[in-house]
Structure 1
Amino acid sequence: MTWHNAYFGFWTDDDVGDAGDDGTGIDTLRNLTYVYNFDNFDPQYGEAPPCVGTLLLRSPVRQTGNPGDIVRYYHPPGSMNLVTKQGSAFTGLTAFNVSGNQYEEPGDYAEAFRFFEGKQRTGQPWINPVTGQVTVKLYSGDPVTGTGWINLGSEERRVMTSYGNITMIPGDTQSLIVAQLIARGSNNKNSITKLRELSDYVQSVYDKNFQTALSAEFVSEEIPDKFNMKQNYPNPFNPITNIEYELPISGRVELKIFDIAGRLKSTLVDEFKTAGSHLVSFNASDLSSGVYFYTLKTAGYTRTLRMVVLK
């Protein structure tokens, strides 16, 4: 049986600590949806609660019949098997819908399908109250700057992102790849900014087909007030872990990995770095299981922490 007008959906109930004080939104440029704490305090997280999001990396593919439309992707991701399909296009993120106390959830399959299409469960279109235009993506404004259509009150939020529509014939296969992310900043709105920065980094790793070198780095523009290097995460790990360090001023930075005997195993950073918060991903595929140490040196600041490779 052939499926016509088929949609894929990704539904989440992202409670940021206490479920009743959340807001939600979509960054349409990044294909990133997110749930954040509406104010700067959460009963479970305390001050500066985090923001959680879902980033679309690869959407389903639909047939267009246009020879000029070509999609390319690696299957499976990380392999060297490059798939090329002519006359096809990615669907992208079709719609972003929200339910909760204010907007009721679908009650049956017909109402759920309307959600997939980006409509209200009754079939009525959503109207952006700022532009007055019909939309299929709710809360597409920016809570950080307070512009566009944003949440004006908090409640429990449940969100649905959909991707379609497509036709699937018997035996056909479609893939949907998303990343679930969480980031925490200096306040609830800054956590949204941090999530966007993290999503850009994750997107770049995916765009490179996960073919990163021993390390890959992303930088936050927010300037910390002191030097710091944090414990790597995850730890223990196999084979990839992340190391965060903070620079209040620009300068030359060395970040190196040593084994338990003090022998240098890898140099992750050895160059001038700008002030800001830095995140380095380290791939330990070439290292055996065991205890290692990583040392940060810069401008009179030195710190060494322990990491464990567990294979």
Structure 2
Amino acid sequence: MEWRDQALKSFFKICCGMMLSTILTLASMSVSTVGIALAASPSQKPRLGKVSYDQVIDVNNIAMFVTNQGSFAFDPATGGPGLEFPRGTYGQTAVFAAGPWIAGKVNGEIRVAIAEYSFEYAPGPILPDGTPADPQLDRYRVYKISKGDGMENPDYAQWPVEDGAPVNPDGTPMVLGDQTLWAVYNDADPGIHFNMQTAPLGIEIQQTTFGFNRTGPLGNVVFVKFLIINKGGNTIDSTYVSLWSDPDLGQSDNDLVGCDVETNFGFCYNGSNTDSQYGSSPPAVGYDFFKGPIGDDGVELPMTSFNKYINGRDPQTAEETYNYMKGLDPDGGVADHTDPITGQVKAFMVDGDPVTGAGWLDENPADRRLMLTAGPFTFALGDTQEVVVGIIMGQGQDRLTSITAARVNDAFAQSAFDADFVVFPPPPPPSPPTPPPPPPVGIKDWDIPSGERWYTWANTDWGAEGFGGAMTGDVAHQWFGPTSVPPSRLVNVELRFTSVIEDEGEDQYKPLDLTNPNVSWGYRYLRGAGAPPPAPADQTTTKSPYDWSHYIINTSGPGVYVYQERNPIALSVWDVENNRRLEVGWLENNRPGGLVNGAYGPAWAGEFSNLAASGPREWLFIFDRDYTEPNDDSNLAELSQGLINDNPAPPIMYIIFAARRFADRFPQDGDSFLILANRVNDINPGDFNGDDTINFSDFLLFVVAFGTGSGDAGFDAQMDLNGDGMIDFSDFLIFVDHYGSGTSGSKAALPLPYPYR
């Protein structure tokens, strides 16, 4: 069998780069071609299926072929690589092939179904009588629909609901993400099991491939959902499901692989910063089990093994395949699975961290294969298993920072998947400018589950005054600049609102129900605390006076925006990644219409900018500190220092600038929304080249800029570690103090710029 894999792949790679460019260019054409004939045993004649050769998911930065034979990221028409990144680069490819491998035992006999360069799956479902459907029928093609499609798209009009294609509650085709491709295939024909020569498992797979039209992390991810059904008439014991891939990251012979066990993440990266396709900045490609199969104990299985091998060591028998999936060598031994550093036998090969250089790392770059596997589980007749995997790309400045970028994208994608993709929609296309230009408009208002909207970022000027927070809004000051909570440490947070008591026809806050668990005691700050109130104390419920002198408690103190007191606020904020409640605060403005009433509430719509000097400045702050009750002063010393001062910046994670709509209600119990963090790869002090290790490669860069000052040619503020405007030995001493420390293990260094889920 070895000759088959090598010969096929050698043939497939001839001229595949130019052919992929042509096929991707023509991908919008709906053409199905009769499949190519592949070798079968003399006693079994394969049934040639009507293979979809030309369908490509191309909604974001990734363009990837999808077939109705199990294989994806492979171009069966040309035998060439099938995943282009970035989309539209015509010739830069990151994956040669990928597909699902499934193996188990039927009455003690190992049976296998695989998809690689040749396939043991055929288009169509398994019929009620247990026989495979006719794979020649056009109805078993790959269907492709996008948001906004209607009956003019034949795939939308002919959406195969009866075969299992997903639909909305009203029966219309369901688009997952912004683009969805769907196909059904099975392994029930004995004549197509020519790879490992086993009897069929009798499984049907309904595959949904989808992606999001986004910039940022989700723009670099393709999701693949497998609904696997046992229709073979037998219970399959000790079943394993693998995501197999031949990455070929650009140049095929210089790949290395690795895995992050805790995050179910396998990845491929270049062995050097020299690649015939990608040059000095090769990307990394990752693979993830976003959802694994359910084990016999009813608990979802994670990745249970990670295996790698090179071209020429492909499994030749069902037993070798099964051993690979179990996390063993092909002969069932453990020699290749023994950590050379610790001597420990591991199911997860090369589980170290190439970015920090720690642990068991892959060596000797070559043409790699990799397998992420989950199992074992018992697959009874009629049972279904849903497995969701992802292909994740990461692009950094070099081969190692690309791993970090892929990890960041993977963590975000997993968070979005766990939240059922409750993420903000992409921004609308820009409108043609019209004179005079309109005032700036904020990010976007969001929908409360009931359909009513009561908050918006409308009428926001984005002029925040240099807070040390990760999200202050002013590009000239704090967008991903020096912050107390750097972007790499942002977490996904959820705001949970409480009901505000109101009388019909009134538009002001009334007392909160302090027994409500989502009422928070927030830290209140005041702008202009030292000035007298601009209007007499008027405790009416009209909004224009709303300036109550008795809410000015501290007229001076640390910080420009002086801390006043802790007051109840109608929401709680939760770090949903770590299940912890966070401290909150808000700012009031001692100006006419400033709403100095001791309660947080968005600005009045259309009357005041929430950032202009005359505006309410009802800014909400989310702090990176565990929440405390009002009788707990453990955070008071830090958070009572006020805002904007010479002391260390308060631990601001997010600032929300909000306005109010006239006709909308106050919040109610059950209202909530998520803020999803878009983590970026910031560079740690002293790590000038961003490889997460401080060593002589950084030192050489330092020497190049030594002696330059702010404004000089060659001055690099990143190397000015002490911020004195000059690159000199005072920075060098700091460098020496950090030398040799990987950023994940050194007390002097910052944490890695991605949190593991």
TM norm. shorter chain > 0.5:
yes
Contact 1:22 1:156 in 2 (8 A): yes
1:176-215 equivalent positions in 2, closer than 5 A? 176-214=387-425
Q: Deviations over 1:215-258 (max 9, x none)?
A: xxxxxxxxxxxxxxxxxxxxxxxxx57xxxxxxxxxxxxxx964
Taking structure 1 as reference, are residues 260 and 2 closer, same or farther at Cα in structure 2, changes over 3 Å only?
A: same
Displacement of 1:277 after TM fit?
A: 8.4
User: What is residue 480 of structure 2 aligned with on the other side?
Assistant: 274
Tell me which of 313, 322, 347 is aligned to 1:104: 313
Tell me which of 80, 95, 100 is aligned to 2:305: 95
Aligned mates of 1:117, 1:156 — CA distance in 2: 22
1:162 maps to 2:363: no
User: What is residue 277 of structure 2 aligned with on the other side?
Assistant: 44
1:7-46 equivalent positions in 2, closer than 5 A? 7-46=240-279
Aligned mates of 1:187, 1:62 — CA distance in 2: 39
Higher Cα radius of gyration:
2
Displacement of 1:47 after TM fit?
A: 1.0
Query: Structure 2 counterpart of 1:134, which letter?
Result: V
SS in 2 for 1:42: coil
User: What is residue 359 of structure 2 aligned with on the other side?
Assistant: 148
Q: Deviations over 1:28-51 (max 9, x none)?
A: 122110000110110111111000
User: What is residue 431 of structure 2 aligned with on the other side?
Assistant: 259
CA RMSD across the alignment: 2.3
Contact 1:115 1:121 in 2 (8 A): yes
Tell me which of 318, 322, 329 is aligned to 1:120: 329
Query: Structure 2 counterpart of 1:107, which letter?
Result: Q
Q: Which segments of structure 1 move beyond 2 Å, counting only runs of 4 or more?
A: 256-266, 268-271, 273-278
Aligned length: 215
Displacement of 1:151 after TM fit?
A: 1.5
User: What is residue 113 of structure 2 aligned with on the other side?
Assistant: none
Displacement of 1:63 after TM fit?
A: 2.2
Q: Deviations over 1:264-291 (max 9, x none)?
A: 887259551323889xxxxxxxxxxxxx
Aligned mates of 1:29, 1:211 — CA distance in 2: 24
Contact 2:240 2:373 in 1 (8 A): yes
1:138 maps to 2:349: yes
Displacement of 1:130 after TM fit?
A: 1.2
Aligned mates of 1:36, 1:123 — CA distance in 2: 28
Aligned mates of 1:63, 1:259 — CA distance in 2: 55
Aligned mates of 2:363, 2:287 — CA distance in 1: 22
Contact 1:257 1:266 in 2 (8 A): no
User: What is residue 293 of structure 2 aligned with on the other side?
Assistant: 60
Contact 1:25 1:138 in 2 (8 A): yes
Aligned mates of 1:213, 1:47 — CA distance in 2: 34
Contact 1:257 1:267 in 2 (8 A): no
Q: Deviations over 1:15-39 (max 9, x none)?
A: 1111101110001122110000110
Contact 1:95 1:161 in 2 (8 A): yes
Contact 1:56 1:178 in 2 (8 A): yes
Contact 1:257 1:265 in 2 (8 A): no
Aligned mates of 2:318, 2:417 — CA distance in 1: 34
Displacement of 1:196 after TM fit?
A: 0.7
SS in 2 for 1:193: helix
User: What is residue 251 of structure 1 aligned with on the other side?
Assistant: none
Taking structure 1 as reference, are residues 120 and 210 closer, same or farther at Cα in structure 2, changes over 3 Å only?
A: same
Aligned mates of 2:487, 2:284 — CA distance in 1: 18
Aligned mates of 2:422, 2:282 — CA distance in 1: 33
Q: Deviations over 1:51-88 (max 9, x none)?
A: 00102100000122xxxxxxxxxxxxxxxxxxxxxxx1
User: What is residue 212 of structure 2 aligned with on the other side?
Assistant: none
Give the structure, 1 or 2, with the largest relative contact order (CA under 8 Å, sep 6 or more). 1
Query: Structure 1 counterpart of 2:268, which letter?
Result: V
Displacement of 1:145 after TM fit?
A: 1.1
Query: Structure 2 counterpart of 1:51, which letter?
Result: A
Query: Structure 2 counterpart of 1:259, which letter?
Result: S
SS in 1 for 2:295: strand
TM-score (norm 2): 0.27
Aligned mates of 1:106, 1:13 — CA distance in 2: 13
Contact 1:259 1:265 in 2 (8 A): no
SS in 2 for 1:161: strand
SS in 2 for 1:20: coil
SS in 2 for 1:62: coil
Contact 1:258 1:265 in 2 (8 A): no
